[in-house]
Chains A and B, each alone.
Chain A
Amino acid sequence: EPEVTQTPSHQVTQMGQEVILRCVPISNHLYFYWYRQILGQKVEFLVSFYNNEISEKSEIFDDQFSVERPDGSNFTLKIRSTKLEDSAMYFCASSVELGMSEAFFGQGTRLTVV
């Protein structure tokens, strides 16, 4: 069964450092997303990406965040200068169609900023 793969599963970083979270979406999917879930809180939308550009972003997705699809398979989320409040579970998702119909989520990367 096809799946979205995220690496690493857990990342610990010092405040102010840059981190890159990686995702390999399902191969025939065209739409890609990042969500995050702070411990004990709701899953929150960060950004959607289609045709090599950002389609939509939330207020959370400020200048410290960026996304990239550097090749035909990877989709990355970069946080330039991490803050304590960036500690969360980050989920990548992908879908064939626009929107989230039958979107598949990865297992997540737990980011801990110390």
Chain B
Amino acid sequence: DSGVTQTPKHLITATGQRVTLRCSPRSGDLSVYWYQQSLDQGLQFLIQYYNGEERAKGNILERFSAQQFPDLHSELNLSSLELGDSALYFCASSVVGREWETQYFGPGTRLLVL
């Protein structure tokens, strides 16, 4: 158990819909990362937050957005969903989000878009 929690574990929705994935970092960690794992793209970095502020952006679509709240939990919002958005979405956390820190991953949310 990494200490990172994600909800829900599974999500099934239809194309065009909007969903919100939630992540709670390990106690004491200020930085949160979101990754997407699809069959054809592997594990890819989406976005990083540190103490409520966006710190780095990766291959995140404009239809996707994220935020980190004062209590440090983070939400990833996916809108206008397409079939290709079906994937595993992982959240990771680290203490202050620096390059040398170990990132600890949550169990993931499996999203299926029908």
Task: Report if A and B associate in a common complex.
Answer: no
